Amino acid sequence: MNRRQWIVIVLIVCLLAMGCSTPAPEATPKPTPTPMPTMSPEEEAAELARIEAELEVQKLQEKKDRVQDLKIVFLVPGTLEHPFNSMAYQGLQQVEAEYGTTIAYVEMGDNPKNWEKDFMAAIEADWDIIVTLNNLSSNKMTELVSMNASLYPDKRFIFLAGYGQEVPPNVVAINYNMNEATFLAGACAAMVTTSGMPLTNEQPLIGFVGGMSIYVIKNQFMLGYIQGAKYINDDIKIMVSYTENFGNKSLGEKHAAKQYSSGVDIIFQAAGATGYGVINAAAAADRYVIGVDNDQAEELEAEYPEKAAHILTSVVRKYDGALFWVIDQYAADTLEFGREYRLGIAENAVGITKNSYYDLLDDEIKAQLVDIESKIVSKEINLDNLEGMEDAMIESLVESVKPE
């Protein structure tokens, strides 16, 4: 084989080798990402609001599912004519309107000896939750709940006004941070006294009349009033006196008249029925008074409009707000039985009345009171130490605001 033939053979082999080889694959192009649609700030806000609204509807439906089949009865220690009892039932009516819960009430009358029959009948009946409280003259309902709660563990009890004993595991007891409301009353009085409003004078001098010099009056009513006044004016002076009687109007009138004649233009009275004497004295002296327990201006305005016109506002326990809060917590599955809850402004359980007479206050005063409320709720103004204050410290505080 000559040289030319070898060259031909080599060329043929090379060509065959090239024909059998697999060409390198072309690189796969990377996909171009699809751009996400952008939203304007307004569209984002609207979408967020839509989502929040849907979640709120879902949350409300879940709460309704927990309580709409409940049956709740209010055992009234007296009649619904009493402001406390009427207020509590209004709270139940709010529950009914919000959640469709079945509610009812039983007026047990004013004689505690007759309450046990109605109480036992309610326990034996098909009620899931029994709501009750004591009245001002008897602790009979506390006794009945204490004796029977453990015997009926499938029943639930809500005790609206202080239980005062170890709380059984199927009972919720409610107490009230009254100093939050009286702090507002003191701040209101301190602002009004030097505001130039009708019936005031130029002296930064206000008053307090208590029914008795006892813990509940001093630590839960007077201290908040003094601290609220000092929050507005640290140099304010406050006349403090006690009638040592909750049922004597003439004593209330006598104590108040003495304060008004000394230059006081606003008195907060926490004296039960004796306080109506303070209101009488305010009308007679043409000065202001702050009521207690219920909206005393509303209570008196139909029959005694001249007295109602002297009541700036009233410090109240809001049994309606407290009861709605408790059932709402039950609906949210966050209510703990077997304990006492202390409720205040944040739970709409205490406050001062805001009626047509309150509306006569200067707008600046009302705005500052709203600001104080928010600071109490946020604990920027913290009143937790007042109820535990010892007598020596209380006396020192009272002495610091005593007129010279």
Q: Percent of the chain beyond pLDDT 90?
A: 78
In residues, how long is the chain? 404
Torsion of CA 264, 265, 268, 272, to 10 degrees: 90
pLDDT(223) > 70: yes
Give the lowest-confidence range in 62-66, 130-134, 217-221.
Answer: 62-66
Look at residues 325, 337, 332 and name the one whose alpha carbon lies nearest to residue 67: 332
* pLDDT attached to residue 10: 46
Provide the mean pLDDT of the chain.
90
Write out the two tokens for 248.
């004597």
What count of other Cβ atoms lies within 10 Å of the Cβ of residue 41?
7
Question: What phi, psi does 306 have (nearest 5°)?
Answer: -70, -30
* pLDDT attached to residue 11: 47
pLDDT(37) > 80: no
Q: In what order do the strands lie in the sheet with 339-343?
A: 102-107, 71-76, 129-132, 156-159, 171-176, 339-343
Say if residues 256 and 311 touch (Cβ distance below 8 Å): no
341-389 pLDDT per residue, tens: 999 999 999 999 999 999 999 999 999 999 999 999 999 999 988 988 9
Region 179-193 average pLDDT:
98
Give the pLDDT band (50/70/90) at residue 28: low
Alpha-carbon span 180 to 385, nearest angstrom = 12
Give the pLDDT band (50/70/90) at residue 32: low
Region 20-29 average pLDDT:
52
Give the pLDDT band (50/70/90) at residue 30: low
* pLDDT attached to residue 171: 97
pLDDT(90) > 50: yes
* pLDDT attached to residue 7: 47
Say if residues 213 and 391 touch (Cβ distance below 8 Å): no
Look at residues 288, 292, 305, 308 and name the one whose alpha carbon lies nearest to residue 365: 288
Give the pLDDT band (50/70/90) at residue 54: confident
pLDDT(16) > 70: no
**Helix extents (H) in 194-346:** 215-217, 223-232, 249-261, 275-285, 296-301, 305-308, 319-331
Write out the two tokens for 200.
């005031």
pLDDT(135) > 90: no
Q: Percent of the chain beyond pLDDT 70?
A: 91
Say if residues 49 and 92 touch (Cβ distance below 8 Å): no
**Helix extents (H) in 168-212:** 178-193
* pLDDT attached to residue 17: 47
Give the pLDDT band (50/70/90) at residue 20: very low
3-state secondary structure of 269: strand
* pLDDT attached to residue 12: 47
Say if residues 77 and 112 touch (Cβ distance below 8 Å): yes
pLDDT(97) > 70: yes
3-state secondary structure of 304: coil
**Inter-CA distances, 207 with 27, 222, 238, 240, 368, Å:** 92, 10, 5, 6, 21
* pLDDT attached to residue 155: 95
Region 293-319 average pLDDT:
96
* pLDDT attached to residue 8: 43
Alpha-carbon span 347 to 128, nearest angstrom = 24
Say if residues 365 and 195 touch (Cβ distance below 8 Å): yes
3-state secondary structure of 194: coil
